[in-house]
Amino acid sequence: MRRGLLAPALLASAALALAGCSSDDDSGDDSSSGSGDSIKIGIKFDQPGLGYKDGDTYTGFDVDVATYVAGKLGYDADKIEWVQAPSANRENMLSGGQVDMIFATYSITDDRKKVVSFAGPYFVAGQDLLVAADDTSITGPEDLEGKNLCSVTGSTSAQRIKDDYASGTQLLEQPGYAECVTALTAGQVDAVTTDDIILAGLAALPANEGKVKVVGNPFSEENYGVGIPKDSDKCEDINTAIQAMVDDGTWQKLLDKNVGASGYKANEKLNPPKPAACA
Ligand code: GLU
Predicted confidence at residue 36, as pLDDT, reads: 62
State how far the Cα of 89 lies from the Cα of 92, in Å rounded to an integer: 5
Give the pLDDT mean for 30-55. Answer: 83
The predicted structure's pLDDT at residue 15: 41
pLDDT (mean) for 148-160 = 98
User: For the residues 165-194, what does the mean pLDDT come to?
Assistant: 96
pLDDT (mean) for 226-235: 97
| CB 129 within 8 Å of CB 162 | no
**pLDDT at position 166:** 84
- What is the rounded distance in angstroms from the CA atom of residue 177 to the CA atom of residue 259? 17
127-214 and 39-125+222-262 share a CATH fold: yes
For residues 172 and 36, which has the higher predicted lDDT (pLDDT)?
172
Fold of 39-125+222-262: D-Maltodextrin-Binding Protein; domain 2 (3.40.190)
Whether omega before 273 lies within 30 degrees of 0, making that bond cis, reads: no
- Residues 220 and 67: their CA atoms lie apart, in Å, by 28
Would you state the CATH architecture of domain 127-214?
A: 3-Layer(aba) Sandwich (3.40)
Q: Where are the domains of the chain?
A: 39-125+222-262, 127-214
Residue 104 pLDDT more than 60? yes
Q: What is the mean pLDDT of the chain?
A: 90
3-state SS class at 91: helix
269 exposure class (CB count in 10 Å sphere: 0-12, 13-18, 19+): exposed
Read off φ and ψ for residue 46, nearest 5 degrees: -130, 25
How confident is the model over 103-109, as a mean pLDDT? 98
- Distance, CA 193 to ligand 1 centroid (Å)? 10
Residues with CB under 6 A from ligand 1: 87, 104-107, 152, 155-157, 194-195, 198, 222
Ligand 1, residues 47, 50, 87, 223: which to mutate, most atoms within 8 A of Cβ?
87
pLDDT digits (tens, 9 = 90+) for 194-215: 999 999 999 999 999 999 999 9
Torsion of CA 229, 230, 234, 239, to 10 degrees: 100
Task: State the chain's maximal CA–CA distance in angstroms.
Answer: 80
- Residue 13's pLDDT is 44
How high is the pLDDT of residue 279? 84
Residue 215's pLDDT is what?
98
In 88-185, at which residue ranges do the beta strands (DSSP E only) sit? 101-102, 116-125, 127-132, 148-152, 170-174
* Ligand 1 midpoint to CA 155 (Å): 5
